[in-house]
């Protein structure tokens, strides 16, 4: 999941299905004796105006924060990394390749009509259909759902997708091979069911508040573009009795300073992210209201590998080597972020990955190697490299871009011209390939390195760099087939080693999430992916 996204998860997946029958639904748990406010309303900043509320048309946490509040999938993964039932009450599998899900009896859309297994079949077919052009079109293929990859490439009919409704309440999913992270991947917002009748009637306009129906704890009530989105409690939600907050307002404030100012003025309950230049001061003055949590997420710059001179891996590697990532993580950011030389994470899904060898070189040696590589590629004082560095409008992205460009200038004599665009515009620019280097980040969609690494495979729908390496594709294929964590880790390391040599993207740092949260907001518990859900929260009397 694009970022504006438990170490033991994969090891627990096999037992999760057994535990799941007895698992309580993850919802607002109000401690005994807690006095609740009469007015159960929450205001949270969401960082930007969403590109869409259609789960098949989006790719970032800006949209998925909203979609996850308004839609349920078959399962969810709780903050402890345990898979829990949502629209599916239970499931079983045969040889980890044929999975049968039993839907909860009586589940309904927010308009009171029934949600059926057929809705899920139709929704997943729509997701992989080339005409839908979903950024997540290849996701079901990455899960090894039968025929998904071929359908996404236009080679097979969507009706051949390995998912079928055995009846209104029973769904069968067929995989071509066991997928270790299958259940965790199933929790992704792109796999929520959508209402076929509604979309058939209104087309792209189905996401307008007057047409919108949802399956989660909230339904869309109001959408004032660039001002606010309001959702209210969905009384037809299967777990409505465990929802406490009645109304949630999401604001699209991209200025972190404005976000904090409105928080201090009492207009916002949860800040989207804390400005880097105010962090130390807020740590002193805001006490427990400042929350910092680790997150499986990496910030990086992506190259357009089809555009000269970035079709030359020497140029890409040189720019990567010349960045002082410790300074970016510790001085420019300084909230607990870690310098990154891996696209994935040093520790994820029960495995550990190691950095490329050059990460441990002294700084002078890295810069000398970078100069040598640039010179071999035809760049130097007489012929300096100049390119555009694009980022979406956000104060922190600007600070990082200024730091990176000054490092390149000082260390290599390279000129990076800074360009910024609003979030939606930048996504369009990126997907049309009209960029040199673009700021990006990835939040794990599930706790496994493949969530980061799949998007660099040839033909992946999120592969904006257009990087293609047959050895890389093979390593990822072997990792998916691996029967043990050790074996899987070996192939992920092979993949990371190739990315370290080819550098289709330069990792800068691994994230932490920073928020300001009002003391009266209870139940704010981000998971390792950085997600937190309104239905798990409540407002204390204050």
Q: Domains for the chain: give ranges and CATH numbers.
A: 41-241+517-539 (3.90.76.10), 294-513 (3.10.105.10)
Position 11 scores a pLDDT of: 29
Work out the number of other CB atoms within 10 angstroms of the CB of residue 519: 11
Position 483 scores a pLDDT of: 83
Bridge partner residues of 220 (DSSP): 231
Q: Which helix (H) or strand (E) holds 61?
A: helix 61-70
Locate 366 and state its tokens. Answer: 């890295």
Would you call 539 helix, strand, or coil by DSSP?
Answer: strand
Distance CA 454, CA 126 (A): 21
Length of the chain: 542
Contacts of 104 (CB under 8 A, 6+ apart): 85, 87, 88, 89, 238
Position 26 scores a pLDDT of: 52
The answer to whether 460 and 477 are in contact (CB under 8 A) is no
Position 181 scores a pLDDT of: 85
Contacts of 386 (CB under 8 A, 6+ apart): 414, 415, 416, 417
Between the alpha carbon of residue 36 and those of residues 39, 41, 217, 242, 521, the distances in Å are 8, 11, 19, 14, 10
Locate 88 and state its tokens. Answer: 């599916």
Contacts of 390 (CB under 8 A, 6+ apart): 419, 420, 421, 426, 429, 430, 435, 436, 437, 438, 439
Is residue 106 classed exposed, middle or buried when 0-12, 13-18 and 19+ CB atoms within 10 A define those classes?
Answer: exposed
Position 344 scores a pLDDT of: 98
The one-digit pLDDT tens for each residue of the chain (542 residues) are 766 632 223 323 333 333 333 333 457 899 999 999 999 999 999 999 999 999 999 999 999 999 999 999 999 998 888 899 999 999 999 999 999 999 999 999 999 999 999 999 999 999 999 999 999 999 999 999 999 999 999 999 999 999 999 999 999 999 999 887 899 999 999 999 999 999 999 999 999 999 999 999 999 999 999 999 999 999 999 999 999 999 999 999 999 999 999 999 999 999 999 999 999 999 999 999 999 998 999 999 999 999 999 999 999 999 999 999 999 999 999 999 999 999 999 999 889 999 999 999 999 999 999 999 999 999 999 999 999 999 999 999 999 999 999 999 999 999 999 999 999 999 999 999 999 999 999 999 998 999 999 999 999 999 999 999 999 999 999 998 888 889 999 999 999 999 999 999 999 999 999 999 999 999 999 988 999 999 999 999 99
pLDDT digit string (tens) for 132-150?
Answer: 999 999 999 999 999 999 9
The pTM assigned to this predicted structure is: 0.85
The answer to whether 187 and 16 are in contact (CB under 8 A) is no
pLDDT digit string (tens) for 374-384?
Answer: 999 999 999 99
Contacts of 365 (CB under 8 A, 6+ apart): none
């Amino acid at each position: 999941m694009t970022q504006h996204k438990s170490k033991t998860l994969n090891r627990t997946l096999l037992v999760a299905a057994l535990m799941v029958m007895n698992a309580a639904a993850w919802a607002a748990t109000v401690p005994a004796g807690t006095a609740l406010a009469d007015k159960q309303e929450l205001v949270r900043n969401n960082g930007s105006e969403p590109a869409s509320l259609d789960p098949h048309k989006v790719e970032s946490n800006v949209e998925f924060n909203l979609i996850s509040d308004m839609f349920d999938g078959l399962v969810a993964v709780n903050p402890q990394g345990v898979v829990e039932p949502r629209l599916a009450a239970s499931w079983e599998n045969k040889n980890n390749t044929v999975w049968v899900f039993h839907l909860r009896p009586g589940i309904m859309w927010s308009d009171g009509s029934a949600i059926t297994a057929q809705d899920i079949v139709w929704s997943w077919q729509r997701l992989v259909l080339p005409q839908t052009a979903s950024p997540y079109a290849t996701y079901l293929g990455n899960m090894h759902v039968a025929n998904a990859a071929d359908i996404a490439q236009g080679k097979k009919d969507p009706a051949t997708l390995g998912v079928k409704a055995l009846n209104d309440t029973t769904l069968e999913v067929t995989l071509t091979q066991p997928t270790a992270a299958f259940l965790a991947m199933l929790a992704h917002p792109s796999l929520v069911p959508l209402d076929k009748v509604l979309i058939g009637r209104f087309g792209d306009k189905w996401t307008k508040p007057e047409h919108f129906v949802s399956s989660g704890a909230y339904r869309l009530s109001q959408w004032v573009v660039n001002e606010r989105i309001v959702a209210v409690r969905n009384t037809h939600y299967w777990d409505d009795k465990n929802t406490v907050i009645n109304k949630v307002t999401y604001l699209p404030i991209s200025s972190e300073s404005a976000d904090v100012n409105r928080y201090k003025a009492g207009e916002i309950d949860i800040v989207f992210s804390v400005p880097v230049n105010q962090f130390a001061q807020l740590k002193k003055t805001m006490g427990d209201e400042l929350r910092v949590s680790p997150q499986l997420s990496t910030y990086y710059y992506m190259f357009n590998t089809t555009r000269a001179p970035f079709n030359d891996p020497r140029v890409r590697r040189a720019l990567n080597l010349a960045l002082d990532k410790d300074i970016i993580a510790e001085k420019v950011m300084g909230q607990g972020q870690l310098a990154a030389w891996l696209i994935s994470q040093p520790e994820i899904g029960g495995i550990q990955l190691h950095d490329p060898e050059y990460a441990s070189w002294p700084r002078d040696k890295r810069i000398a190697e970078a100069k040598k590589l640039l010179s071999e590629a035809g760049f130097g004082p007489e012929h300096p490299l100049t390119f555009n560095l694009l980022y979406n409008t956000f104060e922190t992205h600007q600070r990082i871009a200024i730091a990176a460009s000054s490092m390149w200038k000082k260390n290599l004599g390279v000129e990076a011209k800074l360009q910024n665009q609003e979030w939606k515009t930048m996504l369009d620019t990126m997907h049309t390939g009209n960029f040199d280097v673009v700021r990006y980040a990835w939040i794990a969609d599930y706790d496994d390195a493949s969530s980061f690494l799949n998007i660099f495979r040839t033909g992946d729908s999120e592969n904006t760099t257009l990087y293609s390496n047959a050895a890389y594709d093979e390593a990822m294929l072997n990792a998916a087939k691996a029967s043990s964590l050790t074996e899987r880790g070996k192939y992920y390391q092979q993949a990371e080693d190739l990315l370290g040599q080819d550098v289709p993207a330069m990792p800068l740092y691994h994230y932490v999430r920073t928020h300001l949260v009002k003391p009266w907001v209870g139940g704010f518990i981000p998971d390792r992916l950085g997600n937190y859900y309104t239905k798990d929260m409540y407002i204390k009397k204050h």
